Structure 1
Amino acid sequence: MQVILDVSRLLACSRRPTPSGIDRVELAYTRRWIEAPANSCAFVAQDLRGGFALLPRDLVAELAQALTAAWTGGADAAAAARHAGAVALGARGRLLLGRGRGALGRLLDNGRRTAFLLVSHRALERQAPIEAMRRAGAAFVPLIHDIIPVTHPEYARPGQAEKHRRRMASTGAMADGVIVNSEATAQALRPWLRQQAVPVLVAPLGIDVAPEPPPAGPGGEGHPYFVMLGTIEPRKNHLLLLHLWRNMAAARSAGQPAPRLVIVGKRGWENENVVDILERCVALDGIVREAGQLPDREVTALLRGARALLFPSFAEGYGLPLAEALALGVPAVCSDLPALREVGGAVPDYLDPLDGAAWRDAVQDYAAPRGPRRAAQLDRLRHWRAPGWQEHFALVDGLLARVTTPAAQLAPYAAPRRAAHVAVRDAAVS
């Protein structure tokens, strides 16, 4: 069996100072198949015509190495970022010149069983290029990260809901198998799948912990502090915490000290109220800091020193910040959402994202030197196990073997459970 992996998103995001969750996933998939035997995987990207073209393996390996160094941080991060941009520019130049289309055709014509992986949502709404790959004999397997723009269009950018509907329609019409990151995503996806049985693999995403950061991480300055990690957008519910901290600032003026809050992430869309508070609320001066986008080393340093990660989101498909915090041994207080319960199990404190009083009580307890709720979570955290990429790809390999083997398509698909929150099953939608 051979795998063809679309790396178009890596080319597009090569100049980003920090990656999104989807960027991380495509990079993890790229690194995994770069390490596999050369004849087992090839890499493609979308050309200007909207189709796919083959990219040289060594070019993709160079890009993956540079992006890993740039996004991790460290002394060579700036140079690595420049190098990643240059490599991506060279790859886009090849696509502009039309190189790689013929090579891809020859690869697909070699008679080998082939799986075409698209793990980023990028251009998933364009059915024609994907259908061309399927007509050439490749089984199509996308990774769906969430259905949030469809189920919660009020949190999406203008036009994103309709675009995501087309993506889900493409998945339902063409997917020979689907990878999802959680059972919550699988449940939301099932109405979109076509009538015949389509195997759906629930495979939690692996966690990459950055190298040990410098001893003195930024942000706390000797005071207890909390971290909120994610793009500043309405779905993440920054307003809840900002109003809470403003109230605590008023209490501070009456003699009660307030902990700090560090907000990590880029500014997204439709966040005018949040930005106004961050930029103009003098009551938050000195106790709330907008750190912006930070490399992985600095985020790791911040999390390790925090009293807890705060994650009051209204909707999630997986919850990567939660998994990252728990993997570092950092407690978390998060919204009571099915996807977050899949990630955190019994460890975090789960709260209603609209219950300001409950969040205030939790923050006050976790900020205290010997808060009982934080101590209890640290005890539970000792038994939590971080999901790993090796486990993820073992499950993915089983799905790819099924969708590329005609005999296997006739038998029920089963894979061993690797953890309580991992499930593999067929989705038959009537």
Structure 2
Amino acid sequence: MTEAARREYLLDVSRLLWRLWSGRLPTGIDRVCLEYVRNFGGRSLALVQRRGRTYVLSAADSDRLFTLIERGTAGFRTGLVLLAMRGFARLRSAPPRPGMILLNAGHTGLDDSALVEWIERHNARAIYLIHDLIPLTHPEFCRPGEADKHERRMANALRSAAGIVANSQATLDDLAAFAAARGLAMPPTTVAWISGPDIPADVVPRRQPRPYFVTLGTIEGRKNHLLLLDVWQRLGSDAPELVIIGQRGWRAEAVTKRLDAPDTLGGNVRELGRCDDAALASWLAGARALLMPSFAEGFGLPVIEALELGTPVIASDLPVYREIVGAIPTYLDPADHSAWESAVRDFTGASPERERQLEAMRGYRPPDWQSHFERVERWLGQI
């Protein structure tokens, strides 16, 4: 038996290749895909989708590609070109044996029937990690056409999956409702919470001249930054500092226009478009609270990271937040500006509610990747 035939899995790395090639900061989904490389890479052959075709690398080339991916953006383009020149001529259009498990952790290619046809043709057992159904449940916050594209993704996943991993029960409930509404059968499923980057033990909380709050996430309509800017406008000269950490995204003009005219907010708002993990942890650790007024989320890594660092959280009252962190945060209606203003004022100084959170988070244990993969692999052995 060849080394390729000994590998247990086909691991789709298409999304990571594109993201690393473009030099973009990793999203939450990108980080999940990377963890799948770290856990399954040594037992997998790399699978790459390109222009409607699907390719499988040899065992040796897969190992080289996984190593390149784990190194990150530094030298990635050069490394990928060299690997392509040496090894991509040996690309296969089929797996070394039928019935191999295909792991797709990034929704990659699911909007195209070509992947489904490839899976059926080679009798692959597709396992998809589903992150959210937000384009279907909240299409108003997504790009034109994204709802139709995501409907194809979810329908193709349900039709072709040997099993589906959901990142939360809330996501799985949304998927089950989608399947029922369209008369599609649910394959075997499991819920396995995801995790974030490891937080160093020696994080030094950021020290600022005055109290500050952090909000974390791409600047887009769904994240509801406008509410926070309105709150800071109302706070006036009494406002603490608001630190917005995240890249600018789609349909953010109303927010970015105000950010680009900081005098209208009294100089009390700071925007950090690029922030590495160490700096992010420092900002979170020193904040009076993390503010998350989102209208919808598939999971909630920033909330988990904040609590792990001992930072209180004020968040929208979303089912997924209650699922993953229970009653620790202070939950508010994302449309209630007055409630958010009151909470910010309260948390800026001595606050019984803030103290309640600090006490409630004692002994909090965040989800971790080891538990995620133990659950997934145990489940894979049962289906």
TM normalised by structure 1 equals 0.81
Equivalent-residue separation in structure 2 for 1:305 and 1:372 (angstroms): 19
- Partner of 1:394: helix, strand, or coil? helix
Give the partner amino acid of 1:176: A
- Partner of 1:395: helix, strand, or coil? helix
- Partner of 2:57: helix, strand, or coil? strand
The answer to which of 190-199 and 280-289 deviates more is 190-199
The answer as to 2:28 corresponding to 1:28 is: no
Aligned residues: 371
Identify if the C-alpha distance between structure 1 residues 197 and 329 changes in structure 2 by more than 3 Å, giving closer, same or farther: same
Q: Is the CA contact 1:125–1:170 (under 8 Å) kept in the aligned structure 2?
A: yes
Give the partner amino acid of 2:244: I
Q: Is the CA contact 2:34–2:70 (under 8 Å) kept in the aligned structure 1?
A: no
Could you report, residue by residue, the CA deviation over 1:235-284 in whole angstroms, capped at 9, with x for unpaired residues? 000000001001112xx2xxxx3210000000001111101110124132
Unaligned runs of 5+ in 2: 1-6
Identify if the C-alpha distance between structure 1 residues 197 and 147 changes in structure 2 by more than 3 Å, giving closer, same or farther: closer
Which residue in 1 is equivalent to 2:357? 377
The answer as to 2:226 corresponding to 1:200 is: no
Deviation at 1:130, TM superposition (A): 3.1
Identify if the C-alpha distance between structure 1 residues 141 and 60 changes in structure 2 by more than 3 Å, giving closer, same or farther: same
Identify if the C-alpha distance between structure 1 residues 196 and 357 changes in structure 2 by more than 3 Å, giving closer, same or farther: closer
- Partner of 2:162: helix, strand, or coil? coil
Q: Is the CA contact 2:130–2:164 (under 8 Å) kept in the aligned structure 1?
A: yes
Identify if the C-alpha distance between structure 1 residues 164 and 89 changes in structure 2 by more than 3 Å, giving closer, same or farther: farther
Equivalent-residue separation in structure 1 for 2:85 and 2:357 (angstroms): 52
Q: Is the CA contact 1:238–1:274 (under 8 Å) kept in the aligned structure 2?
A: yes
Which residue in 1 is equivalent to 2:23? 16
Identify if the C-alpha distance between structure 1 residues 224 and 33 changes in structure 2 by more than 3 Å, giving closer, same or farther: same
Identity of aligned residues (%): 41
Could you tell me which of 77, 98, 120 is aligned with 1:85? 77
- Partner of 1:177: helix, strand, or coil? strand
- Partner of 1:142: helix, strand, or coil? strand
Deviation at 1:3, TM superposition (A): 1.6
Equivalent-residue separation in structure 2 for 1:392 and 1:357 (angstroms): 39
Equivalent-residue separation in structure 2 for 1:122 and 1:214 (angstroms): 35
Give the partner amino acid of 2:379: L
Which residue in 2 is equivalent to 1:58? 63
- Partner of 1:269: helix, strand, or coil? coil
Give the partner amino acid of 2:138: H
Identify if the C-alpha distance between structure 1 residues 138 and 244 changes in structure 2 by more than 3 Å, giving closer, same or farther: same
Give the partner amino acid of 2:13: V
Deviation at 1:164, TM superposition (A): 0.6
Q: Is the CA contact 2:195–2:301 (under 8 Å) kept in the aligned structure 1?
A: no
Give the partner amino acid of 2:19: C
Deviation at 1:196, TM superposition (A): 4.4
- Partner of 2:315: helix, strand, or coil? strand
| 1:312-323 pair list within 5 angstroms | 312-323=293-304
Which residue in 2 is equivalent to 1:409? none
Deviation at 1:23, TM superposition (A): 0.3
TM normalised by structure 2 equals 0.91
| 1:20-169 pair list within 5 angstroms | 20-34=27-41, 38=42, 40-54=43-57, 56-67=61-72, 81-90=73-82, 99-101=90-92, 104-105=94-95, 107-109=96-98, 114-169=100-155
Equivalent-residue separation in structure 2 for 1:338 and 1:122 (angstroms): 26
The answer to which of 388-397 and 41-50 deviates more is 41-50
The answer as to 2:380 corresponding to 1:391 is: no
Deviation at 1:197, TM superposition (A): 4.9
Could you report, residue by residue, the CA deviation over 1:56-96 in whole angstroms, capped at 9, with x for unpaired residues? 233233223312xxxxxxxxxxxxx332333344456679x
Equivalent-residue separation in structure 2 for 1:292 and 1:139 (angstroms): 40
Which residue in 2 is equivalent to 1:402? 382
Unaligned runs of 5+ in 1: 68-80, 404-430
Q: Is the CA contact 1:155–1:234 (under 8 Å) kept in the aligned structure 2?
A: yes
The answer as to 2:293 corresponding to 1:307 is: no
Give the partner amino acid of 1:380: A
Which residue in 1 is equivalent to 2:3? none
Q: Is the CA contact 2:205–2:284 (under 8 Å) kept in the aligned structure 1?
A: no
Equivalent-residue separation in structure 1 for 2:365 and 2:163 (angstroms): 27
RMSD: 2.1
Equivalent-residue separation in structure 1 for 2:155 and 2:346 (angstroms): 46
Equivalent-residue separation in structure 2 for 1:19 and 1:89 (angstroms): 21
Deviation at 1:296, TM superposition (A): 0.9
Q: Is the CA contact 2:203–2:285 (under 8 Å) kept in the aligned structure 1?
A: no
Deviation at 1:362, TM superposition (A): 1.0
Q: Is the CA contact 2:158–2:186 (under 8 Å) kept in the aligned structure 1?
A: no
Give the partner amino acid of 2:339: A
| 1:150-189 pair list within 5 angstroms | 150-189=136-175
Deviation at 1:53, TM superposition (A): 2.5
Which residue in 2 is equivalent to 1:241? 228
